[in-house]
Structure 1
Amino acid sequence: MISWVKIFGVAAVSFLALDAFWLLIIARKMYQQYLGNLMGQTKFAPAAIFYVLYLIGLLFFVINPALEKSSLFYAIAAGGFLGLLCYGTYDLTNLATIGKWPVFVTVVDLIWGTFVTAAVSGITVFVAQHFNWR
């Protein structure tokens, strides 16, 4: 049980660090430019629930199977695919239902979601394998 807490912690820290860098430094102006009229005050409770659920899903669907297979490649590939699916669900639904949702934001978010989920999966599996957590 303690190793799963450590694995969750590695995934959480790496995901939050990468996503914070993305949201606050890299993409902030893009989101303000393209979505400014749709943006409101950040609600931290729903954001926290998202991160916890996403990380649990990542551990269940990607990281645990990758550790069972002892495959860093599986972690990165399956993580990227899960990221594409999850971010695609959000962005393509917005594109389909919100009148002026920008295609550019959807494309950038799909690339980001694929990358960040693959990276977090790879980092987490690499660290867990390095420290022999299981």
Structure 2
Amino acid sequence: MNHFLKLFSVAAITFLVLDFAWLLFIARKMYQEQLGNLLGTTKIIPAAIFYVLYLVGLLFFVVYPALEKNSLMYALLAGALLGLLCYATYDLTNLATIKGWPALVTVIDLIWGAAVTATTSGITVFVAQHFNWR
């Protein structure tokens, strides 16, 4: 398996496990209570496209630079920043444009975006360093 696919696989497994746990078990009730009438049926194709694009961006903007710098700390900090920026794009736009979008959801999502992206970046770089995938 080539270098990119190895990194993508580690990042995808990590991100999907964490995000699905978050969406299905941790934040589900909060989203239902806060967004109730705004929620619709999940559309799999757009969701899959998001995950693929997000993970490609994570590799390009965070993981590869962290591996070049040989820095797990860079992966964690840059991952947190990327997650904050990306989740802010979605949530702050919703807060600005959708009537009834709760500020609480925005704050929690920004924290989650930073945390899940930092964690995914850190684990991906750690595994790559461990197996010497440079």
Q: Same fold (TM over 0.5)?
A: yes
TM-score grouping bracket, smaller chain normalisation:
over 0.9
1:90 counterpart residue number: 90
Distance 1:63 1:16 in 2: 17
Root mean square deviation, CA, Å: 0.7
Distance 1:28 1:105 in 2: 11
Distance 1:94 1:42 in 2: 17
> After TM superposition, which residue ranges in structure 1, 4 or more long, deviate above 4 angstroms?
none
How much does 1:130 deviate? Answer: 0.2
Distance 1:44 1:36 in 2: 20
1:62 counterpart residue number: 62
Distance 1:16 1:51 in 2: 8
2:23 counterpart residue number: 23
Give the 3-state SS of the residue equivalent to 2:133 in structure 1: coil
How much does 1:57 deviate? Answer: 0.3
2:103 counterpart residue number: 103
Give the 3-state SS of the residue equivalent to 1:37 in structure 2: helix
Give the 5 Å matches for 1:34-49: 34-49=34-49
Q: How many residues align?
A: 134
Unmatched 5+ stretches in structure 1: none
Give the 3-state SS of the residue equivalent to 1:19 in structure 2: helix
Percent identity between the aligned chains? 72
2:127 counterpart residue number: 127
Q: What do the CA deviations read for 1:91-128 (whole angstroms, capped 9, x no partner)? A: 00000001110000000000000000000000000000
Give the TM-score normalised by the residue count of structure 1.
0.98
Give the TM-score normalised by the residue count of structure 2.
0.98
- Residue type matched to 1:63 in 2? V
How much does 1:36 deviate? Answer: 1.2
Distance 2:3 2:93 in 1: 36
2:117 counterpart residue number: 117
